[in-house]
């Protein structure tokens, strides 16, 4: 017999909109700039793009991977044949 749980559609996607701002906050810096200049205990506002992995969201945590906004993903470059369009190769 088939596993009945496997036949059920996935549940609703989590609401991740609370992690995305409509406008960039004053003083925001790109990921690359913060990594180069920030020191321990500095307060920073980082602007970036959620991505770099097929699923950049960390399960069970309010955490995710971000990349510098200056980088373009394979998807943005129009590489329709790329097997990892979320990637920044």
pLDDT band at 11 (very low <50, low <70, confident <90, very high): low
Residues ≥6 apart with Cβ < 8 Å to 57: 14, 16, 50, 63, 64
pLDDT band at 88 (very low <50, low <70, confident <90, very high): confident
**CA 1, CA 74: separation in Å to the nearest integer?**
42
Average pLDDT value for residue range 18-47 = 90
Token representation of residue 21: 């701002």
The tens digit of pLDDT for each residue in 35-83 reads 999 999 999 999 888 777 778 888 888 788 888 888 887 777 776 677 7
pLDDT band at 12 (very low <50, low <70, confident <90, very high): low
Q: For 43-59, b where at least 16 C-beta lie within 10 A, e where not — what string?
A: eeeebbbebbeeeebee
**CA 66, CA 51: separation in Å to the nearest integer?**
6
């Amino acid at each position: 017999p088939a596993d009945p749980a496997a036949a059920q559609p996935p549940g609703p996607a989590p609401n991740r909109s609370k992690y995305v701002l409509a406008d960039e906050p004053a003083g925001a810096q790109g990921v690359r700039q913060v990594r180069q200049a920030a020191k321990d205990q500095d307060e920073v506002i980082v602007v970036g793009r959620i991505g770099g992995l097929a699923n950049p969201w960390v399960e069970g945590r309010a955490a995710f991977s971000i990349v510098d906004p200056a980088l373009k993903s394979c998807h943005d470059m129009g590489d329709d044949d790329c097997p990892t369009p979320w990637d920044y190769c």
